[in-house]
Amino acid sequence: MSIFTQTTWFDSLDSTNTYLKDAIAGGAEAARSGSVVVARAQLKGRGRKSRAWLSDRGENLTFSFVLAIPERRRDFPTLTLAAGVAVCETLAGFGAEGQIKWPNDILIKGRKICGILCETVQTESGLFAVCGIGINVNMQAAQMASIDKPATSLLEETQICYRVEDVLEAVLSSLESRLGLWLDGGFAALRERWMALACGLGMPIAVEEDGIAKDSGFFQGAGESGALLLRRISGETVELYCGDVAWNSCKL
Ligand code: BTN
């Protein structure tokens, strides 16, 4: 049985995540597990920690889907990591080799091409995830200059202009396969693949909260629970569940 059941395109939405979260809370049809919502223009796109996600009309892919979380998936925060594997594999199919920066960024040579924002809504009938994915498809260098961090797009990486519809079809097909594994076996079923795609394995990093370094050491990837594995200079390895990975600010 397919995971994705219906796809609805909107000319414009504030945020596909917000739309689906509101729909779930209101018990609307669009909120069923497997519903996909895509916006040609997203006016108030959101990233982690309330950061803005900028995307010009028609240039990029901005979509979200609903997934009912079964009780056995207590490791549901690792949905982000599973989605990251699916996106990386999709980009590779378009000739762009991405890497995953824990937990939810996809980078190509240090420049961000995709962000993933998974949120949850608890209802009387169970827990639902809303997973939102933004992929820079046809964004040009001049537009990306207005983003505060280095960014790239499929166009920049391959010099080919892709149809956003084709990128959506490919990413949904990859998600279908990867989320199938995740629903049955959790992150453990995908961890090996995730580690092969992880950015900066073995490198010195700082783990920051609101721009302030809280810990530092060598990045060891993600553990079975999805937590960031950090080997401190003392040799001790710790699991961290939140924070931003920074390479440049690390002073070991
Ligand atoms: C991040 O980089 O912190 C995550 C960015 C997630 C952006 C996508 S675009 C589609 C969906 N709708 C949103 O408002 N955000 C996500």
80-106 pLDDT, tens digit per residue, is 999 999 999 999 999 999 999 999 999
Which pLDDT does position 189 carry in this prediction?
Answer: 96
Instruction: Give me the mean pLDDT over the 157-169 stretch.
Output: 97
Average pLDDT for the chain: 94
Model pLDDT, residue 55: 86
Mean pLDDT (whole number) for 70-76: 92
Give residue 211's pLDDT. Answer: 86
Residue 27 pLDDT class (50, 70, 90 cuts):
confident
Q: How far, in Å, is the centroid of ligand 1 from the Cα of 53?
A: 6
Report, as an integer, the average pLDDT of 166-171: 98
Parallel, antiparallel, or unpaired for β 99-101 and 105-108? antiparallel
The mean pLDDT of 190-204, rounded to a whole number, is 96
For 70-155, strand residue ranges (E) read 99-101, 105-108, 111-123, 126-135
Report the pLDDT value the prediction gives residue 251, as an integer from 0 to 100. 52
With the most atoms of ligand 1 within 8 angstroms of its CB, the residue from 50, 60, 133, 242 to mutate is: 133
The confidence score (pLDDT) of residue 227 equals 97
Q: How far is the CA of 248 from the centre of ligand 1 (A)?
A: 24
* Ligand 1 pocket test, candidate residues 7, 9, 14, 17, most atoms within 8 A of CB: 17
Mean pLDDT of 240-246: 93
Measured from CB, residues less than 6 Å from any atom of ligand 1 are: 15-17, 45-48, 51, 53, 62-64, 104-105, 115-117, 132-134
- Ligand 1 atom with the smallest distance to the CA of 39 is 10
- Given a cut of 70, whether residue 249 has pLDDT beyond it is no
State the SS3 of the chain.
Answer: CCCCCEEEEEEEECCHHHHHHHHHHCCCHHHCCCEEEEEEEECCCECHHHCECCCCCCCCEEEEEEEEECCCCCCHHHHHHHHHHHHHHHHHHCCCCCEEECCCEEEECCEEEEEEEEEEEEECCEEEEEEEEEECCCCCHHHHCCCCCCECCHHHHHCCCCCHHHHHHHHHHHHHHHHHHHHHHCHHHCHHHHHHHECCCCCEEEEEECCEEEEEEEEEEECCCCCEEEECCCCCEEEECCCEEECCCCCC
Task: State the distance from the centre of ligand 1 to the C-alpha of 15, rounded, in angstroms.
Answer: 8
Q: Is it the case that residue 252 has pLDDT exceeding 70?
A: no
Q: What is the pTM of this model?
A: 0.95
> 44 CA distance to ligand 1 centroid (A)?
10
CA of 235 from ligand 1 middle (Å) equals 36
Query: Is the pLDDT assigned to residue 29 strictly greater than 80?
Result: no
Residue nearest to atom 11 of ligand 1 (CA): 132
